[in-house]
């Protein structure tokens, strides 16, 4: 038994933990949880806990349903929101086949595989997400959503629900060992942003799954509702998850090169070129819902054109202002992601696109100097900017043709994901929206 496992078992004893929640994530990014008593835990560490994979979205068909969830002791944390004793803790699990080999259906393994490809090239992948979400006064079944306040970007909102909310959410996150870098009121009414500190991509993805749960839990405690829906209001900005990414070679930032333009190394430039080249085909993963595309159509800070810019907030990829003497903080910001993505899969495809750029030595096109939204379509065309897919349907079609995404997700997840999204789109196409009623019924 390794030290970490011993630590977990000891802590459970000392802290009087009565239940341990084993967490894993389905292919669409929904957190799944199964509670075990501490007595069962040792067995789960050794052999994994059997469960029926066919009951989980995207995991398995009925005939291959036996799967194992094997907790990763390094992810052990006590859940802070169940304040009363007995306590409850959680761990993330890897999903294994009955023979103990990793399951290709496990999003965590998808990311691990891509990370190990990066590791073979000598890289570690770090990410730093800025998560936006809305706080609503009412529950989803209580009529049209009402934001908790009317404040705007960076507004100091003393004694507001939002202020308390952020304070409590951050306290809980920190209690679970998840460092928060920054938090503030975002542009939309009731919209919040919390930035997680940068960490390796697997840890970040685990943290994001925890983060969503914590935010939902705190909202319940405070009698409000938190949503990561990409675009809940027509007239207010959507909830994105701008993510800063960087590659390290050992302890050195591989994106940094002193004296290069924007201090960007050749590796960084090829990485960006890779992300731009493959942007259309990875969009179905980074923006996986019908609703995601309403955010991308919204203008302002949501990127819809494939380009990059230095400190340009309307570009798909932004290279932030370089801070002298901080070579290790060189990074690029990927801006199309939204808060409702599956972070494991999304990080995997972004990394795969970037690595493709490095492996194949893509050249970085010139950066966009201007506000992309201010350009006319003809100007954009002249500058060689392609648009991101405008709908889930377009994104699916781009993805279907992509060897890169098939490679990164693995054939199993690739196939399931496409089928699931196709059926989501089919379902959506049959809807008659309020907009259509309002617009057509009176005149037609």
Q: Is 70 helix (H, G, I), strand (E, B) or coil?
A: strand
- Under rule CB under 8 A, residue 121 binds other proteins: yes
Instruction: Compute the distance between CA of residue 79 and CA of residue 124 in angstroms, rounded to an integer.
Output: 29
Q: Shortest distance, CB of residue 283 to other proteins, whole angstroms?
A: 20
Q: Which residues contact 434 (CB under 8 A, 6 or more apart)?
A: none
Instruction: Name which position in 14, 39, 83, 99 contacts other proteins (CB under 8 A).
Output: 99
Both tokens assigned to 48 = 């994994």
Instruction: Name which position in 155, 164, 249, 370 contacts other proteins (CB under 8 A).
Output: 249
Chain residues 320-349 in contact with other proteins, contact rule CB under 8 A: 328
Instruction: Compute the distance between CA of residue 331 and CA of residue 354 in angstroms, rounded to an integer.
Output: 13
CA-based nearest residue to 170, from 161, 180, 185, 160: 180
Q: Shortest distance, CB of residue 105 to other proteins, whole angstroms?
A: 10
Count residues contacting other proteins (CB under 8 A)? Answer: 33
Q: Shortest distance, CB of residue 99 to other proteins, whole angstroms?
A: 4
- Under rule CB under 8 A, residue 100 binds other proteins: yes
Q: Is 120 or 363 the residue whose CB approaches other proteins more closely?
A: 120
Both tokens assigned to 5 = 């496992």
- Under rule CB under 8 A, residue 55 binds other proteins: no
Using left for φ > 0, alpha for ψ between -120 and 50, and beta otherwise, residue 160 falls in beta
Instruction: Name which position in 104, 262, 322, 428 contacts other proteins (CB under 8 A).
Output: 104
Q: Shortest distance, CB of residue 328 to other proteins, whole angstroms?
A: 7
Q: Is 379 or 415 the residue whose CB approaches other proteins more closely?
A: 415
Residue 205 DSSP one-character state: H
- Under rule CB under 8 A, residue 4 binds other proteins: yes
- Under rule CB under 8 A, residue 415 binds other proteins: yes
- Under rule CB under 8 A, residue 374 binds other proteins: no
Kindly report the number of other CB atoms within 10 A of residue 437's CB atom: 10
Instruction: Compute the distance between CA of residue 268 and CA of residue 357 in angstroms, rounded to an integer.
Output: 9
Longest dimension (CA), the chain: 73
Using left for φ > 0, alpha for ψ between -120 and 50, and beta otherwise, residue 122 falls in left
- Under rule CB under 8 A, residue 359 binds other proteins: no
Q: Which residues contact 19 (CB under 8 A, 6 or more apart)?
A: 35, 36, 37, 38, 86, 88, 89
Task: Considering only the stretches 222-230, 247-255, 267-275, 378-386, report the one whose residues sit in contact with other proteins under the rule CB under 8 A.
Answer: 247-255
Instruction: Name which position in 38, 102, 152, 320 contacts other proteins (CB under 8 A).
Output: 102
Instruction: Name which position in 74, 161, 175, 180 contacts other proteins (CB under 8 A).
Output: 74
Instruction: Compute the distance between CA of residue 126 and CA of residue 329 in angstroms, rounded to an integer.
Output: 11
Q: Is 248 or 334 the residue whose CB approaches other proteins more closely?
A: 248
Instruction: Name which position in 20, 27, 91, 97 contacts other proteins (CB under 8 A).
Output: 97
Half-sphere exposure of 409 (CA within 13 A, CB side): 28
Q: Shortest distance, CB of residue 266 to other proteins, whole angstroms?
A: 17
- Under rule CB under 8 A, residue 251 binds other proteins: yes
DSSP 277-318: HTHHHHHHHHS-STTHHHHHTT-TTS--EE-EEET-TTSSEE
Residues 325, 385: contact at Cβ < 8 Å?
Answer: no
Q: Is 296 or 405 the residue whose CB approaches other proteins more closely?
A: 405
Instruction: Name which position in 17, 49, 69, 96 contacts other proteins (CB under 8 A).
Output: 96
Instruction: Name which position in 31, 34, 64, 152 contacts other proteins (CB under 8 A).
Output: 64
- Under rule CB under 8 A, residue 313 binds other proteins: no
Using left for φ > 0, alpha for ψ between -120 and 50, and beta otherwise, residue 260 falls in beta
Kindly report the number of other CB atoms within 10 A of residue 222's CB atom: 17
Both tokens assigned to 345 = 């899969």
- Under rule CB under 8 A, residue 245 binds other proteins: no
Q: Shortest distance, CB of residue 163 to other proteins, whole angstroms?
A: 37
Task: Considering only the stretches 95-103, 189-197, 270-278, 285-293, report the one whose residues sit in contact with other proteins under the rule CB under 8 A.
Answer: 95-103
- Under rule CB under 8 A, residue 291 binds other proteins: no
Q: Is 15 or 419 the residue whose CB approaches other proteins more closely?
A: 419
Query: Which chain residues interact with other proteins by CB under 8 A?
Result: 1-4, 61-64, 74, 96-104, 116, 119-122, 249-252, 328, 406, 410-412, 415
């Amino acid at each position: 038994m390794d030290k970490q496992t011993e630590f977990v078992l000891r802590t459970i004893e000392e802290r009087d933990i009565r239940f341990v929640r084993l967490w894993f994530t389905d292919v669409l990014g929904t957190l799944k949880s199964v509670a075990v008593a501490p007595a069962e835990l040792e067995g789960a560490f050794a052999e994994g806990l059997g469960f029926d994979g066919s009951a989980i979205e995207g995991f398995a068909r009925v005939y291959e349903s036996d799967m194992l969830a094997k907790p990763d002791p390094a992810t052990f944390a006590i859940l802070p929101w169940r304040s009363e004793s007995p306590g409850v803790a959680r761990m993330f699990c890897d999903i294994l086949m009955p023979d103990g080999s990793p399951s290709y259906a496990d999003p965590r393994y998808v990311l691990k595989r891509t990370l190990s490809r990066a590791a073979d090239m000598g890289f570690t992948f770090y990410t730093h997400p800025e998560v936006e979400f809305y706080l609503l006064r009412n529950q989803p079944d209580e009529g049209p959503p009402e934001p908790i306040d009317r404040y705007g970007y960076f507004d100091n909102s003393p004694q507001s629900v939002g202020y308390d909310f952020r304070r409590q959410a951050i306290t809980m996150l920190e209690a679970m060992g998840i460092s928060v870098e920054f938090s503030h009121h975002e542009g939309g009414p009731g919209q919040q942003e919390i930035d997680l500190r940068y960490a390796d991509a697997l840890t970040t993805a685990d943290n994001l799954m925890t983060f969503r749960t914590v935010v939902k839990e705190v909202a319940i405690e405070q009698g409000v509702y938190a949503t990561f829906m990409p675009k809940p209001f027509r007239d207010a900005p959507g909830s994105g998850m701008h993510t800063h990414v960087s590659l390290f070679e050992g302890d050195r930032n591989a994106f940094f090169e002193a004296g290069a333009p924007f201090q960007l190394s050749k590796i960084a430039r090829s990485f960006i070129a890779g992300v731009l080249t493959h942007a259309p085909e990875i969009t179905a993963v980074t923006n996986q819902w019908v609703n995601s595309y309403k955010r991308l159509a919204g203008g302002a800070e949501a990127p819809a054109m494939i380009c990059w810019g230095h400190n340009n907030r309307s570009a798909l990829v932004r290279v932030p202002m370089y801070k002298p003497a901080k070579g290790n903080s060189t990074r690029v910001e990927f801006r199309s992601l939204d808060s409702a993505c599956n972070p494991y899969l999304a990080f995997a495809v972004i990394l795969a696109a970037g690595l493709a750029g490095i492996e194949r030595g893509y050249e970085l096109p010139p950066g966009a100097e201007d506000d992309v939204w201010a350009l006319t379509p003809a100007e954009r065309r002249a500058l060689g900017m392609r648009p991101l897919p405008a709908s889930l349907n377009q994104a699916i079609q781009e993805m279907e043709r992509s060897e890169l995404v098939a490679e990164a997700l693995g054939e199993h997840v690739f196939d399931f994901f496409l089928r699931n999204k196709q059926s989501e789109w089919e379902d959506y196409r049959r809807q008659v929206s309020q907009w259509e009623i309002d617009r057509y019924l009176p005149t037609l």
